[in-house]
Chain A
Amino acid sequence: MPTLTAAKKSPRLAARSGRPAPELIFGDLWEFDPAPESADPKLKARYELFIDGKFVAPKGGKYFDSINPANEQKLAEIALAGPADVDAAYAAARRAYDGGWGKMPGRERAKYLYRIARLLQDRAREFAVAETLDGGKPIKESRDFDVPMAAAHFFYHAGWADKLDYVAPGRKVAPLGVVGQVIPWNFPLLMCAWKLAPALAMGNTVVLKPAETTSITALKLAEIFQDAGLPPGVVNFVTGAGEVGAAVMNHATPAKIAFTGSTEVGKIIMRGLAGTDKKMTMELGGKAANIVFDDAPLDQAVEGIVNGIFFNQGHVCCAGSRLLVQESVAGKVLAKLKNRIRTLRVGDPLDKNTDIGAINSREQLDKITALVAAGVKEGGGMFQSPCTLPTKGFYFRPTLFSGVSMSSTVAREEIFGPVLSILTFRTVDEAIEKANNTAYGLSAGVWTDKGSRILKMSTELKAGVVWANTYNKFDPTSPFGGYKESGFGREGGRQGLLDYCKLV
């Protein structure tokens, strides 16, 4: 007959009594054979501006290099737009709007957008490789998320173009005219789609500036616009850095500007537009709380935490960068997280096994490094994955900060990198208080088994998107956008469309 003493010898009980259960550690224990994605990205050596349906050289004759952040090698030259080029782009957009895009029957506009979606799906792998080369994100993300989601945005909004009477019940809607847009470098093609699809479906024409480190997929998308027969001037791309963005935002022509980027730059744009009649949409920064209650399925939650902060190297405005764990399970969650991030494969973004790719630019790497140094200086307990990093290119280890206080730099500032700050709470009210104690309000995550608690949290959290028992999910039908200093306006869904029209 089994006795208590005998039972203690069972390995399962032994683990419970203090000795750690054996964990499978992948990390660098085993060499993985390289599994590079080898599709041809079909890059040009030089990318011109896309104005009035044609690729044109910048009037100033200047170009800048776009490099691959994974190895710092030059990928292509990108045209540097000057004020005259921005003028030309807006003139083309104006002509295209007046010339018929705005008045075209919605069902016809829809067909162009459908074509764009289909042509993008045709060339999905090529675009995924180009996106990964230019921006540093893992191929599995550009292949499985960025490119298909971009196509989905065009497809979804295409169908709205002839159903605009249903966007604003009780009222008719009309396009605004010409729209100016500036997008960030974290999801270059996807942000392009988020901005263009609703604007075009509504009948607006666009001048858009991609981010200077990631212009290539926008200009490849311009090739698709040509193949789709999109009328000249409906979409115009001007490339360059901040001063080109300022020229796009502050130009007299657009009736509306839409910006996705940092809160700091968003405020500058708002000041620049003060006193004008321009409409605005701002998708700005975030410092999202990802809240784990003690009744949550912890293994699932750990996967969600990892996805929340390490997706796209943490270059995500809605990243779950502040982990709030209920005190009673904090130790367990931290132990599981430490184990889990050791298994994350950091390296060549083109490798299909890579979980975390390259940091987008040296500038961003320096920013992350400085903020992490501040976190260490302020006494946060830092844990970094011991993984080996490539010798060339911009990489940063997955990083955790435990025992972080609400006032510390890494808990307040948007790091935009693979750095997670871990805080604890005891009660539901404390979790809400801590989660909302930020100037931002873009997103939040809640992990619990209790349905009523999810709805309570979702009601109380001041954030535009709440993920319950999941994180970083997106869809063209699902409005995305922030509260407070995370901006205003929504992208996606019926709500997003309304930000690109006027009520008549």
Chain B
Amino acid sequence: MPRLPITKTPKVYVGGAFIRSESARVFPLKDASGEFFANIPQCTRKDLRNAVEAAAKAGPGWAKRTAYNRGQILYRLGEMIEARAGEMADAITLGGATPAAAAREVAATVDRLIYYAGWTDKYEQVLGNVNPVAAPYFNFTVTEPMGIIGVIAPDASPLLALISLIAPAITSGNTVVALASTTQPYPAIVLGEMLATSDLPGGVVNLLTGFRKEMISTFATHTHLRAISAVVNAEERKALALGAADSVKRTHLLKAEEKHDWFADTAQSVYAIRDTLEFKTTWHPVGA
């Protein structure tokens, strides 16, 4: 008699722990052939608030890591995904991608992480500078992470797009609360398991699954989310921008109705890092 396999219970990765939704709700995920695959946590606004709390706890420590250390940790995450590339590709094929396309997406995801791993100790030298003020002061502008960034990932390229939004934010020491694709949440579930073995401190990246319409208003108005990076439709863009006004939140909203080539070189940039940075300028007198 063939052995009955042990199936995995998908859990979301929040605060360095694998949890179900506090609501105990799930939604069924089917594979490409329409068969039941697993139940996915249907996270709530409360889960989002809890994740923000976890991100807030992790934030100061992560931002204080040296740039070199953050770079090594991002590189380590690349190593973890590369080593389990087959498993991740399987998670992507669940949504209908061919094995070749899935493998290509995993490879591009790893490369994207390596790209940002290399930026951790360089972006400051590109984006900051000393300013030649016309008075006897030493004046310099440095960058700082904004804090906690809300990410809402699209359905297309569910892993690569998610990482392309998360990686530039954490490169500089931000922490992230991300909502994965609703139609293809499983790669994010597997990603959580790889994050957990990557040396990335718990709470730096928090991944939620569920429905946008249930969480978008909290993404918009949660005061502790200092910026939103999202791929969203017109209605969601308006809702996010309206809510963002309440706390003067920064928004970087890509249009879901437009096609984005996440594989392109233009989908990675030091200016994506800049989008979740603040600039701080310090004046100091020059004298004896």
A residues near B (Cβ < 8 Å) are 152, 168-171, 263, 266-268, 270-271, 273-275, 282, 284, 439, 454, 458, 463-470, 473, 475, 477-481, 483-488, 490, 493-495, 503
Residues of A within 8 A of B139 (CB): 475, 477-478
- Tell me if A274 and B242 are in contact (CB < 8 A): yes
Chief secondary structure at chain B's binding surface:
mixed
State A177–B271 Cα separation when bound (angstroms).
Answer: 21
Residues of B within 8 A of A282 (CB): 248
- Tell me if A473 and B247 are in contact (CB < 8 A): no
- Tell me if A468 and B248 are in contact (CB < 8 A): no
- Tell me if A478 and B242 are in contact (CB < 8 A): no
- Tell me if A469 and B241 are in contact (CB < 8 A): no
- Tell me if A468 and B283 are in contact (CB < 8 A): yes
Residues of B within 8 A of A275 (CB): 234, 237-238, 241-242
* Minimal beta-carbon separation of A484 from chain B (angstroms): 7
- Tell me if A481 and B279 are in contact (CB < 8 A): yes
State A152–B234 Cα separation when bound (angstroms).
Answer: 42
Kindly state whether residue B1 has any CB partner on chain A within 8 Å: no
For A478, the closest partner residue in chain B by CB is B131
State A274–B239 Cα separation when bound (angstroms).
Answer: 8
Asked if A284 meets B248 with Cβ closer than 8 Å, knowing A465-B280, A465-B283, A475-B133, the reply is yes
Residue in A169, A464, A466, A485 whose beta carbon sits within 8 Å of that of B248 in the complex: A485
Q: Which 4 A-B pairs have the closest CB atoms?
A: A275-B238, A274-B241, A270-B245, A475-B133
State A270–B241 Cα separation when bound (angstroms).
Answer: 7
Chief secondary structure at chain A's binding surface:
mixed
Most buried by A among B246, B282, B284: B282
Can you report 6 A-B residue pairs in the complex whose CB atoms are below 8 A from each other? A271-B241, A473-B283, A475-B131, A477-B132, A478-B131, A484-B226
- Inter-chain pairs besides A439-B247, A473-B137, A485-B247, 7 sampled, C-beta below 8 Å: A270-B241, A274-B244, A477-B133, A478-B281, A479-B141, A484-B226, A490-B279
A to B contact number (C-beta, < 8 Å) = 113
State A466–B139 Cα separation when bound (angstroms).
Answer: 10
Residues of B within 8 A of A488 (CB): 248, 250
Residue in A266, A273, A466, A490 whose beta carbon sits within 8 Å of that of B283 in the complex: A466
Residues of B within 8 A of A469 (CB): 284-285
For B134, the closest partner residue in chain A by CB is A475
- Tell me if B245 and A466 are in contact (CB < 8 A): no
- Tell me if B134 and A270 are in contact (CB < 8 A): no
State A475–B250 Cα separation when bound (angstroms).
Answer: 26
Kindly state whether residue B6 has any CB partner on chain A within 8 Å: no
State A481–B237 Cα separation when bound (angstroms).
Answer: 25
Residues of B within 8 A of A493 (CB): 129, 131, 141, 281
- Tell me if B248 and A270 are in contact (CB < 8 A): yes
- Tell me if B241 and A267 are in contact (CB < 8 A): no
* Minimal beta-carbon separation of A168 from chain B (angstroms): 7
- Tell me if A467 and B283 are in contact (CB < 8 A): yes
Kindly state whether residue B256 has any CB partner on chain A within 8 Å: no
* Minimal beta-carbon separation of A244 from chain B (angstroms): 21
State A483–B277 Cα separation when bound (angstroms).
Answer: 10
Residues of A within 8 A of B237 (CB): 274-275
Residues of A within 8 A of B280 (CB): 458, 463-466, 483
- Tell me if A478 and B141 are in contact (CB < 8 A): yes
- Tell me if A273 and B281 are in contact (CB < 8 A): no
Kindly state whether residue B278 has any CB partner on chain A within 8 Å: yes
State A275–B234 Cα separation when bound (angstroms).
Answer: 7
* Minimal beta-carbon separation of B176 from chain A (angstroms): 19
Residue in B127, B132, B250, B285 whose beta carbon sits within 8 Å of that of A470 in the complex: B285
- Tell me if B141 and A466 are in contact (CB < 8 A): no
For A467, the closest partner residue in chain B by CB is B283
Residues of B within 8 A of A169 (CB): 126, 270
State A432–B283 Cα separation when bound (angstroms).
Answer: 18
Kindly state whether residue B135 has any CB partner on chain A within 8 Å: yes
- Tell me if B242 and A470 are in contact (CB < 8 A): no
- Tell me if A171 and B248 are in contact (CB < 8 A): no
For A465, the closest partner residue in chain B by CB is B281
Binary interface encoding of chain B residues 206-245 relative to chain A, with 1 for a CB under 8 A from any of its CBs, else 0: 0000000000000000000010000000100110011011
State A92–B244 Cα separation when bound (angstroms).
Answer: 33
For B236, the closest partner residue in chain A by CB is A275
State A275–B141 Cα separation when bound (angstroms).
Answer: 32
Residues of B within 8 A of A481 (CB): 279
For A171, the closest partner residue in chain B by CB is B271
* Minimal beta-carbon separation of B221 from chain A (angstroms): 12
- Tell me if B270 and A480 are in contact (CB < 8 A): no
State A395–B266 Cα separation when bound (angstroms).
Answer: 56
Residue in A439, A464, A477 whose beta carbon sits within 8 Å of that of B279 in the complex: A464
* Minimal beta-carbon separation of B260 from chain A (angstroms): 15
State A395–B131 Cα separation when bound (angstroms).
Answer: 37
State A473–B282 Cα separation when bound (angstroms).
Answer: 10
Residues of B within 8 A of A168 (CB): 271
